[in-house]
Amino acid sequence: IPEDLRTRRVEITGPISDPKMVINMLNRNSSGFRADTAMLDFEDSMKPSWGNVISGLENIKSVSEGLLTFEKKSASGEVEKTYKLNAEDSAKAMVRVRGLHLNENNLKIDGEAVSGGMMDLVMTSLITAKKFISRAQTPKFYVPKCEHFEEARWWNNIFSEIEDHLEIPRSSIRATFLIETLPGAFQIEEILYELREHAAGLNVGRWDKIFSDIKVLGKHKDKISADRASINMNKYWMDNYAKRLIKICHERGAYAIGGMSAFTPGSDAETRDAQTKKVLADKNNEFSIGHDGCWVSHPYFIGPAMEAFPKENQVSELLPEIDRFPNLIMDGEGPRTISGLRTNIRVGIAYMQGWNQHMGCVAWDNLMEDLATLEISRAQTWQWLYHNIALDT
């Protein structure tokens, strides 16, 4: 593992297209806490409009140079506040590219749209890789939604092609793959093997995993999902999937990064205290089972998350007592309520309102809702309708 990837206790995430948000993710927060790494996102938290994609490329170019700034202006055009990246004391930037399910229709070769993820990876590498390397930083990427080891092999070949084109040594580029699909959860070791030249670790992408569970098992009458709010990392199939990932990663010397606590701080002290306790409980659980780090969705929670992860990493935790091949299939038990349905509908409306304002994530009901959580709500509502279930009151 490269030196600048050895400490990943807390990673903060958000859209790469918003320069103010990028600066706030990379710099210290108002309490003086800073994330170790920041996942700057072309995927689930960003609407992939052409303007947002180009803004993202401009922002990561400036980050690689240590020069990103943003001026907040009034309606009359007066500069009210200037935000500036503190390049000497910032989180290490990682870029999450789009998955293979998305094409970029604004860029075509021989009349055919290119892969959005390939474009994000190649363009970011061409304009930043050598600049990051010159500043003793690794060009770092996240790749989402991998479902099969052959997909991992495909991505690994592209990493190698980019390195050859840029004439930089093999393994200069490092990637963390999100294991956030049910098929991918069965192929963790095979995926990691295919990435061995470029692997930094794997991530437990809990929200997309829940969506994938519902999507893959959607037509099975005995696997009808419970209310979204009732599915958490304490469910046996979610706990098994996380521990399986940790066990395999640590046996191979790769990092196992925990998932996202999607809570937002809230607008009053009582709510902030309650939300902080939820985040701390989640992160304490992730540390206790062996994760090397975790995700948070808001700078406010960096300090509490750091408190839960006191070690540089936990690669030495090999989990010998954990079954290598546990039950990963959800049980289809639990409440299915009118309240849960209302939550799903509200999330859909709120998310689409944000989408129409060119945003890919929205704060709603004290949660950060992005495309992954929207997909849970959408797929669950479809599944309930498909099976014509009677909701609990």
Active site residues: 96, 370
- According to DSSP, residue 391 is labeled P
Bridge-based pairing state of the strands 92-96 and 140-143: parallel
User: Three-class SS of residue 284?
Assistant: helix
Are 258 and 363 contacting, i.e. CB atoms less than 8 angstroms apart? no
Are 382 and 364 contacting, i.e. CB atoms less than 8 angstroms apart? no
Token reading at 124: 């970011």
Token reading at 53: 């994609």
Q: How many residues does the chain have?
A: 393
Q: Within 10 Å of residue 126's Cβ, how many Cβ atoms?
A: 14
Q: For residue 164, give every residue at least 6 positions away whose Cβ sits within 8 Å of its Cβ, in sequence order, or none.
A: none
User: Three-class SS of residue 114?
Assistant: strand
Are 180 and 44 contacting, i.e. CB atoms less than 8 angstroms apart? no
Q: Is the dihedral of CA 334, 146, 375, 286 positive or negative?
A: positive
Distance CA 175, CA 167 (A): 18
SS (H, E, C) 82-110: EEECCHHHCCEEEEECCCCCCEEEEEEEC
Q: Which of 367, 325, 360, 328 is nearest to 346 (CA)?
A: 367
Are 306 and 328 contacting, i.e. CB atoms less than 8 angstroms apart? no
- According to DSSP, residue 253 is labeled T
